[in-house]
Amino acid sequence: MNAREQWVALGTIVRREVMRILRIWGQTLMPPAITMTLYFLIFGTLIGSRIGTLHGYTYMQYITPGLVMMSVITNSYGNITSSFFGAKFGRYVEEMLVSPMPPLVILGGYVAGAVLRGLLVGAIVLALSLFFTHLTVVNPWVTASSVLLASVVFSLAGFINAVYARKFDDIALVPTFVLTPLTYLGGVFYSVDQLPAPWREISHANPILYMVSAFRDGMLGAGDIALGPAYAVMLGLMLVLGWVAITLLRRGVGLRS
Amino acid sequence: MTTAPALDIRDLRKTYPNGVEALKGISLTVEAGDLFALLGPNGAGKSTLIGILSSLVNASGGEARVFGVPVHARRSEAMALIGLVPQELNLNQFERPLDICINQAGFYGIPRRIAGERAEKYLRELKLWDKAEHSSRMLSGGMKRRLMIARAMMNEPRLLILDEPTAGVDIEIRRSMWQFVQGINRAGTTVILTTHYLEEAENLCRNIAIIDHGRIVEHTTMRALLAKLDVETFVLDLAAHCPDALPAPEGIALRRIDEHTVEAELPRGRDLNGLFAALSAAGIAVRSMRTKSNRLEELFVRLTAPGKEAA
């Protein structure tokens, strides 16, 4: 395939993913909007009003970037696992496997679809937050790049999960037992500076902490971790997971006999 | 335009991780423009062979070339030449037939405008255009099979592989699918067909290979294969009830099928006078007679019978 044909193929996958997200908006866009509204209401307004300030911001303002990032991460991951595993389960992944598309185009198309859903949900959550608080963006570049990198990282992780999954339970295990605990312990609702030793140090092994911190730094200018290490972790994970995903796809693990 | 064969397979082997040796060194050539039948009993290795050709299965050894392009070494180029209609339904049931076809073209790098035109062309030819914007899960089994053919045509392949495309399809739709396949073959597309309807292979295909236990046990023209058939079977409809005891004319085997039907098997080319004389002598009147059509089936059973495995 020449470069122009590869762009057409990439656009086809992305378009198909976006159509899927919009077709089942009740499953893809609505639930995070409802869940996050409840978070804003309960943690932000009812409980948050009694907590006081963190790094000079109201609790509601402080947790909003974390909740946006949590939505982006879970929705990017969830989109690619359900979509790619669904294609495997229904066998229509063969439509792509028997085509001349290189593995990188297939991976790129699915990751782009997952990132688009993550960012769309993130935008919805951010818009909803404005009903409860007012927000500023201190550094738009850091804000945009950190949310994009986090979305790509968890899209790639979700793709790897979907490649290995043999049944629907397999794509539910990681979000339930790994992703949710890491997210809740990744500084979404608190600053790791508040934690006593050794929990503060242990928290630094959680990659989500770096993503939430960088995003919060971009929006509020109040991150727990310096931007340098945060970007190093995100870029490093993106490269490693990207390499694993493309290798699995090239070898046809879980896809070709 | 290359003169390479549409398909050239040399010593192709496949052993699955569980130790099953599905292909034991197959060599096969299909000339460009052919309408070729690939037959074999269940588990013979047909789907593994098709899987390797369509890159869904990795070969353990040997080589397959499509119009001279090695499938493994130059996968992308080879896949651009092939259209595949798999045995199992593999449609996205939540998409519309029109979208399925347009997306498939997109996977081959075909722009949406051209894809839309082709989708309309092939959905019309396969009598699915009125269902183009319905949900695919609402289609009948026969419609889904035709949709898979339309989808496989979106890249206008030079080699179309049909793995049991008419399984479970009623005779009217099967015939319309035959017409479509013959039409695209006349237009220059090489077609490889696997089927369990041996009559289908006999009527459609010019050349044939029979695969059994992972080996090719026959690879010849349909005419040459049928010429090997040394007996003919006739079905006789009787005017009255068939007696329990049938006559036994020399060299002719008579078999009672039901109370009004008898089958007669006799050496190819032998005259029928002896048969009718014996029936008349036994007081059996024949109302009508026809040749049993599934001649290929007889050969197939013989070639793939237990104990016939090639060394």
Among A99, A110, A253, the residue to mutate for chain B (most B Cβ within 10 A): A99
User: Do β-strands B35-39 and B190-194 pair in parallel, antiparallel, or remain unpaired?
Assistant: parallel
Name the band, by pLDDT with cuts 50, 70 and 90, for residue A123: very high
Q: How many CB pairs under 8 A join A and B?
A: 89
- So where are chain B's domains? 7-225, 231-301
Does any domain span residue A113?
yes
Non-local (6+) Cβ contacts of B114 within 8 A are B105
ipTM of the complex as predicted? 0.88
3-state secondary structure of B83: strand
Does any domain span residue A256?
no
Closest CA to B52 of B87, B104, B9, B21: B9
Does any domain span residue A117?
yes
Architecture of domain B7-225: 3-Layer(aba) Sandwich (3.40)
- Which whole-number Å values give the CA distances from B67 to A47, A237, B158, in the listed order? 70, 42, 9
Tens of pLDDT along A28-39?
999 989 999 998
Phi, psi of A89 (to 5 degrees): -65, -40
Go through chain A and tell me how many residues it has.
257
* pLDDT of B307: 53
Partners of A16 on chain B (C-beta within 8 Å) are 95, 99, 103
Partners of B54 on chain A (C-beta within 8 Å) are 98
Partners of B67 on chain A (C-beta within 8 Å) are none
* pLDDT of A134: 86
Q: Which residues of B sit within 8 Å Cβ distance of A?
A: 16, 48, 51, 54-58, 75-77, 79-80, 82, 84, 86, 88-95, 99, 103-104, 106-112, 151, 155
A2-11, A73-82, A178-187: lowest mean pLDDT where?
Answer: A178-187
Number of independent structural domains in chain A: 1
Q: What is the mean pLDDT of residues A137-143?
A: 93
Query: How far apart are alpha carbons A133 and A59 in whole angstroms?
Result: 10
Does any domain span residue A257?
no
* pLDDT of B309: 42
Name the band, by pLDDT with cuts 50, 70 and 90, for residue A204: confident
Q: What CATH number should be reported for the domain whose range is B231-301?
A: 3.30.70.1560
* pLDDT of B305: 63
Partners of A96 on chain B (C-beta within 8 Å) are 107
- Nearest-by-CA chain A residue for B92: A92
Better-predicted residue by pLDDT, A198 or B112: B112
CB contact burial B228-267 (16+ within 10 A = b; e otherwise): eeeebbbebebeeebeeebbebeebebeeeeeeebebebe
CA atoms lying within 13 Å on the CB side of residue B205: 31
Q: Which residues of A sit within 8 Å Cβ distance of B?
A: 1-2, 4-6, 8-9, 11-13, 15-16, 19-20, 23, 87, 90-92, 94-102, 252, 256-257
- Residue A19, both tokens: 């159509």
Closest partner CB to B92 (pick from A90, A99, A102)? A90
Indicate the pTM of the whole model: 0.84
Neighbours of B41 (CB within 10 A): 17
- Nearest-by-CA chain A residue for B103: A12
* pLDDT of B141: 86
Among B87, B92, B107, B155, the residue to mutate for chain A (most A Cβ within 10 A): B107
Q: Which domain holds residue A143?
A: 3-251
Is A91 in contact with B56 (Cβ distance < 8 A)?
Answer: no
Tens of pLDDT along B269-300?
778 888 888 888 888 889 998 877 556 666 66
Query: How far apart are alpha carbons B143 and B133 in whole angstroms?
Result: 13
Q: What is the mean pLDDT of residues A47-72?
A: 87
The low-confidence residues of chain B, meaning pLDDT below 50, are 309-311
Query: How far apart are alpha carbons B79 and B69 in whole angstroms?
Result: 9
What's the distance, Cα to Cα, between the start and end of chain B in Å? 39
Query: How far apart are alpha carbons A181 and A197 in whole angstroms?
Result: 19
Min distance A231 CA to chain B CA atoms (Å) = 34
